[in-house]
Structures are given as C-alpha cells and as structure tokens.
Structure 1
Amino acid sequence: MNLNWLRITGLIGCATLLFLSAPRINAATPGLQPAGFGQDRGWDRPPDAWNDLQRRGFQDGIEGARKDFDNHRRPDVDNRDEYRHPNVPSQLWGAYREGFRRGYDVGMSHLVGAADWRIRAPERPWDAPPNEFDALRRQGFQDGIEGARKDFDNHRRPDVENRDEYRHPHLPPGQREAYRDGFRRGYQVAVDHMMGGRG
C-alpha cells in the first residue's frame, strides 16, 4: 500500500514539474514571430518544392533584406546588386530572382514584424500590391511582376496573354478571375517600371 502511494506521488510530482517548466521553455523562444510565419516551419525556410537555385536565391534575399534593414536603407529588392546581377548563368536568372524576391519579402516582413512589410513602408515601393487586394490578388500581382521580369530578361515582347500562368492558373475555377486580375495589374506595373515609365 505504501509503495503504491509513493509511485502515485512520484508520478504526480513529475507531471507537475513538466507542466510548470513548459511555459518557461516557450517564453524563452527568441525573436519576433509575426503573424503567418513559423507555424509549422522556420520563417526563413524556403518552400520544399523549390530547386537548389531558388533556395539559394531565397536565402540570399533574406540576407539582402537584413543588410538593408541594418543599414537603414529604403527596402527595395531592385537596389540589391545580387538581385539585379546574380552570380549565376544568365539563363538561370529567373529562378534565382524568384527565390531572392520571395526571400527578401519574407525577411523584410519578419524584421519589421508585419505579415507584409510593404504595407508598413513609409514610401511604398513600386512593386507593392494595392492595399485593397485580397490574398489571391496579391499572389497574382507578385506572380505578374515575376512574369514580366522573365519576359523582359528573355527579350520577349511584353504581353500578359503569353504567360501560361496567367492563361491557365493552377487554381480552382472560382478563384481564377481574382488571381488573373492581380496578375494583370502586377504585370503592367512591372512593364511600366522596367521600361522606365511611372511604375
């Protein structure tokens, strides 16, 4: 009887110790965790489906954002030399830049503590999606900018209708028009910017 009582008391004591130490472990987690980052993975981890070049671009983009933030520079991915002139073969620039841009956005958002850093930027950069856009249109807008960059880098005539991701988005039918609306706007903004227009 006394032995059973000791076992129960010991188990209760262990459970209490674990319970009381759990909040201290969570409270000691360093760093700012803005909404939307790091739920299931580290905020600085590139998408699993990406290739090595895109992953490298993503990590370089985070580092570029960190340098701009630390040196109090206006955030703008186009001001990063490693983005404008990547140290990879020219035919691979598109994949590297895609990763870099996403890494830069994720890094800057993490550093300023916002889900999208461009909303908090005092001077909104040319590639910031309109505030009224929902998440689907924002994604379309960013993909449209990237599509225009690819056309520009490959010396193709700018035409949003020539982009497969615009004509055939991999989305349910009910979401395609919103995505295309964002894509069209992003594509046009990027073309204006790269052609030296208002942007």
Structure 2
Amino acid sequence: FADLSLTLARLPVFYKHRDFLFYRPWTFALPNVLVRIPSSLFESIIWVAITYYTMGFAPEASRFFKHLLVVFMLQQMAAGLFRVTAGLCRTVVVTNTAGSLAVLIMFVLGGFILPKDAIPKWWVWAYWCSPLTYAYIAFSSNEMHSPRWMDKFVPDGKRLGVAVLENSGVFTNKEWYWIATGALLGFTILFNVLFSLSLMYLNRK
C-alpha cells in the first residue's frame, strides 16, 4: 500500500511537467520501478531470513532461495499493482477504495482461503486472474516437492507432498513453480506498462 500514497503524492508535479512537455511519461514510470528494486530486494531478504526457518519450511538452501525469489517477485507485482491503481484512479479516496477491493478479491480467490474446487464456477476466472494464485502455487510447489514431503507415502500409495497439493487444489507437477514465478513476472511487467499508459493518456482528476 505504500506505493499508493507515494505515487499519488508525485502525480500533481508529474502532470505539470508532462503538460509542459518536459519529458515523456515512461521516463517518469521507469525510474519509479527501478529505484524501488534495491530496497525491495533488501526487504525481501530480511523478511525471508527471519521467517523461513522459524516457520519450519524445508531446510534445503535451494528451496530457501527459491522461496526468496517468489517473495521478491510478489513484492514487485504488488508494487506495480498499486502504482497502476493510483495512476488510474488519481484521487486518494477512489485509489484507497479500489486498492482495498483488489486486495480483498485477490486474497479470497487466490487459492489459499478458498481452494480452487471450493470457488463458485462463475468466480473461477478471478482465481486465474489473481496474481496471488500464482504466488500460492509457487510457494506450495517449492515446499511440497522437498524430500521430507516426497519421501513419505499416504495409505493409498501417493507421495505425501502430492497428496497435500491435490487436497489443496494445487497442480502437482514441480514445473509449476517456474510457471507461477514467470506469471508473477508477467503481472509485474503488465502492471508497470499499464501504469505508463495511464500516465500517458489520462489527465489529472
């Protein structure tokens, strides 16, 4: 949510500069994205370093770094989402309302609170459109394909990790980790492109 207020605070000055043809909108949008990457990476490292092992996730170092990658991509996606929300709405009240509604829908229909099979059929499209769906798939796939889950079996002969993923409505192929991470990257690019377009074509209030 920090990017909502930061972006809204910068928009009035940007619109003045744009109207006087000082620079193109993408030269405002691109630095906003790039300048946040180092701090976002630092925050992701601190967060994962504190929480990963204390939550009892798989101890392998490779899974730690794959988890870190998803957290970082998730943070970049969220920043892009809130930037484009601010760029489209342009007022504090509308932006906060739209941002809160988007977060609510993504959380409820992201596959964790409501598994995919429990989501009404007319809302399944929102499940696939929610970036949190892909973050959840990546986190689950990374954890459940670790040896401590895959080396154990349930009574019907399935591996424990596969059984947990099936019960949660998550794809069981481990390739879905990279598919879901790539989807987060795609959402990040999409939101930042939309942010640039909103700066290009929309006027202040």
Shorter-chain TM-score above 0.5:
no
Structure with greater helix percent? 2
Higher RCO structure, 1 or 2 (CA under 8 Å, sep 6+): 2
Q: TM-score, normalised by structure 2?
A: 0.28
* Greater gyration radius: 1
